[in-house]
């Protein structure tokens, strides 16, 4: 991809350039009264010359569903128009900034998708009244190689149509995404750290390093990544941490109050920290959630743990607490879960492990008296 610094400045009639929001240079063919057509071939090549001649000879007047010029106003009643209306709604604006960015990205990437591979019609200008479950399935199936991304398209489309149906008057008469099945993803989620992996990480990152401080904050608070990067001295009082979880803080706030364990206090005291957050970058600034994820990835790789991540530490803490006898309500208090469903996953697994340990001896069955006598005689030889 060429960046803005590599602008070609093509001086050919009807050929124009602009830069997208990622800094990439895009080339278009455009004549007044006709639609803008993207040219993907590289200027100066035979392929570019061939494509340019084709466009000169063609009538590129816009049809109702073809590609729009970047930044143009959406056509009322279309899929892009509905999404833009959703972006301006209080329902969307009261979401967490990270959730907003995720949903917006998922939706915007659908706009330039072709409705049919054989035509130039785009989803951006597909009338909402014509949008069916089949259309949502097309968007889903374009991401089959990445099932989670495919499912995200369906889920976010459901949010948009649910919102549209609640408006007065309704902006949609139904939710075509509601009946579209999600792709089954065979996954147990993030890898849960083992005690051996924690020990290996600690060996590579001793007390006094930011990497070890990060591990301790996760292990001894059960915090999510978005909370760990915000924890600071202002949250500590009388030996307790008190903070509001960042996730869903606007819609379903959860306040956490947990004691600061002596081991965590010892590591904090021995570590370099910032003024408002314990974890800071090399420039003394608080980490962003994504930035810290990248840094944790680096620290894990340095310890030879490519399978481990920050989120896996939260799971490891829940597993350890459950195996040590924590109840569902206790786990909910530590990890901020609002229902027992998540906590029960860990307590069930812990009980299953304990029962298996207690019952394994039963697989051998009762020993006969003669067998025991025979073993006793052999042992005295």
Residue 282's domain is classified under what CATH number? Answer: 1.10.443.10
208 plus 339 within the same structural domain: yes
Same domain assignment for residues 220 and 322? yes
Of the candidates 139, 157, 274, 159, the residue with the CA atom closest to the CA atom of residue 210: 274
- Cα separation, 52 vs 29, in Å, equals 8
- Residue 171, in any domain of the structure: no
Q: Look at residue 371 and tell me if it is in a domain.
A: no
Domain that holds residue 24: 4-57
Token couple for 302: 């340095």
**Does residue 175 lie in a domain region?**
no
Backbone CA torsion sign across 59, 64, 70, 71 = positive
Q: In sequence order, what are the residues at sequence separation of 6 or more whose Cβ sits closer than 8 angstroms to the Cβ of residue 328?
A: 340, 343, 344, 347
Residue the block writes with tokens 């035979």 = 46
Pair (231, 350) in one structural domain: yes
User: Is residue 348 situated within a structural domain?
Assistant: yes
Residue 172 lies in a domain: no
pLDDT of amino acid 4: 45
- Shared domain check, 337 and 223: yes
For the chain, percent helix, then strand, then coil, each to nearest 5? 50, 10, 40
CA dist., res. 164 & res. 133, Å (int)? 16
Q: pLDDT tens string for the chain (381 positions)?
A: 444 444 445 567 778 887 766 677 788 887 776 778 888 888 778 888 788 777 777 655 544 444 455 556 888 999 999 999 999 999 998 887 778 888 999 999 999 899 988 778 899 999 999 999 999 999 999 999 888 899 999 999 999 999 999 998 999 989 999 999 999 876 556 777 888 888 899 999 999 999 999 998 888 887 888 888 899 999 988 988 888 888 777 777 888 888 888 888 999 999 999 888 999 998 888 888 888 888 989 999 999 999 888 888 777 777 777 777 777 787 777 767 667 776 676 676 666 666 677 767 767 766 555 555 555 554 444
Domain shared by 205 and 352, yes or no = yes
What are residue 265's phi and psi, to 5 degrees?
Answer: -60, -40
Tell me: do 154 and 217 sit in the same domain.
no
Same domain, 265 and 346: yes
98 is a domain residue: yes
What gap in Å lies between CA 95 and CA 133, rounded to an integer?
Answer: 26
| pTM assigned to the model | 0.55
Whether residues 25 and 150 share a domain: the answer is no
Question: To which residue do tokens 């005295």 refer?
Answer: 380
Residue 306 domain-assigned (yes or no): yes
- Say how far apart CA 73 and CA 150 lie, in whole Å: 27
For residue 233, tell me if it sits in a domain.
yes
CA–CA dist 116, 196 (Å, integer): 52
If asked whether residues 225 and 328 sit together in one domain, one would say yes
- Residue closest to 174 by CA, chosen among 157, 191, 188, 193: 157
Residue 204 and residue 286 share a domain: yes
Nearest to residue 247, comparing CAs of 338, 342, 343?
338
As for how many domains the chain has, the answer is 3
**223 and 347 share a domain?**
yes
Q: Is the same domain home to 264 and 318?
A: yes
Give the residues across from 24 on adjacent strands: 3
Q: Which of 121, 145, 166 is the last residue of a domain?
A: 166
């Amino acid at each position: 991809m060429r960046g803005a610094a590599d602008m070609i400045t093509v001086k050919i009639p009807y050929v124009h350039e602009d830069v997208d929001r990622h800094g990439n240079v895009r080339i278009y063919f455009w004549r007044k009264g006709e639609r803008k057509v993207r040219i993907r071939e590289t200027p100066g090549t035979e392929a570019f010359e061939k494509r340019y001649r084709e466009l000169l000879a063609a009538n590129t007047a816009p049809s109702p569903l073809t590609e729009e010029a970047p930044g143009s106003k959406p056509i009322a009643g279309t899929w892009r128009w509905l999404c833009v209306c959703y972006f301006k709604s209080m329902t969307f604006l009261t979401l967490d900034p990270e959730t907003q960015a995720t949903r917006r990205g998922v939706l915007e990437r659908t706009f330039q998708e072709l409705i049919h591979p054989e035509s130039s019609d785009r989803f951006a200008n597909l009338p909402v009244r014509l949008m069916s479950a089949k259309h949502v399935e097309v968007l889903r199936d374009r991401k089959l190689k990445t099932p989670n991304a495919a499912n995200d398209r369906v889920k976010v489309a459901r949010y948009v149509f649910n919102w549209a149906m609640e408006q007065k008057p309704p902006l949609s008469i139904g939710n075509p995404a509601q009946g579209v099945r999600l792709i089954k993803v065979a996954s147990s989620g993030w890898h849960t750290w083992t005690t051996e992996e924690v020990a290996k990480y600690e060996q590579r990152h001793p007390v006094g390093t930011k990497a070890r401080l990060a591990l301790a904050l996760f292990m001894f608070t059960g915090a999510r990544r978005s909370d760990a990067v915000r924890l600071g001295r202002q949250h500590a009082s009388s030996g307790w941490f008190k903070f509001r979880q960042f996730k869903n803080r606007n819609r379903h706030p959860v306040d956490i109050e947990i004691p600061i364990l002596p081991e965590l206090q010892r590591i904090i005291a021995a570590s370099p920290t910032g003024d408002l957050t314990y974890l800071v970058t090399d420039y003394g600034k608080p980490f962003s959630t994504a930035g810290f994820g990248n840094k944790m990835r680096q620290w894990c790789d340095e310890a030879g743990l490519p399978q481990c991540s920050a989120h896996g530490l939260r799971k490891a803490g829940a597993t350890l607490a459950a195996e040590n006898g924590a109840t569902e309500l206790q786990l909910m208090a530590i990890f901020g879960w609002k229902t027992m469903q998540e906590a029960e996953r860990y307590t069930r697994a812990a009980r299953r492990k304990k029962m298996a340990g207690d019952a394994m001896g039963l697989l051998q069955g009762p020993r006969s008296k003669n067998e025991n006598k025979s073993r006793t005689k052999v042992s005295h030889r």
